[in-house]
Amino acid sequence: MARMSHTLDPAIASALKRTPDGLVAAVVQDATTGAVLMQAWMDDAALARTLATREATYWSRSRSEQWIKGLTSGHTQHVRTVRLDCDGDTVLLTVDQVGGACHVGDTTCFDARELLGEEDA
């Protein structure tokens, strides 16, 4: 995959409300099942690359680098749609997920830890 950089449409860039470190949240939903798979972060370049290539691309806060989902694991996300929320700080992606979305092997990153269950459970 080419390492060329992508530039964000100025109309989109001006609509973003970024965190102090220049990121927007990205919520990722399975286009088929509707499951919320993961939440990640994007800088402008990652969002631009996602829109241009339909390969879900994020910014890793822990590694401080751009991260193309599935590049090493093979668990890619083909992006079907991207929507921006009303206050401009979050994008919602619907994707075709190959394999598990979570790096620990789970289907979603929310599988392992339930903080509150159903009332009648």
Place of tokens 């193309």: 68
Options 10, 64, 74, 113; binder of a second copy; rule CB under 8 A:
113
Question: Do the bridges between strand 65-68 and strand 57-60 make them parallel or antiparallel, or are there none, so unpaired?
Answer: antiparallel
Residue 111 in marked binding region: no
Residue 109 in marked binding region: yes
CB of 53 to a second copy, least distance (A): 11
- Residues 6 or more apart from 113 whose CB is under 8 A from it? none
The Cα 90–Cα 116 span in angstroms is 24
Residue 88 φ/ψ region, left for φ over 0, alpha for ψ in the -120 to 50 degree band, beta for the rest: left
Options 7, 32, 71, 103; binder of a second copy; rule CB under 8 A:
103
Residue type, 7: T
CB of 4 to a second copy, least distance (A): 19
Residue 89 in marked binding region: yes
Task: Tell me how far the alpha carbon of residue 105 is from its chain's centroid.
Answer: 17
Nearer to a second copy, 3 or 113 (CB): 113
Size of the site for a second copy (CB under 8 A): 44
Chain residues 58-87 in contact with a second copy, contact rule CB under 8 A: 79-87
Tell me, what DSSP letter sits at residue 74? S
Interface with a second copy (CB under 8 A): 12, 15, 19-21, 25, 27, 29, 34-36, 38-39, 50-51, 54, 79-87, 89-92, 102-104, 106, 109-119
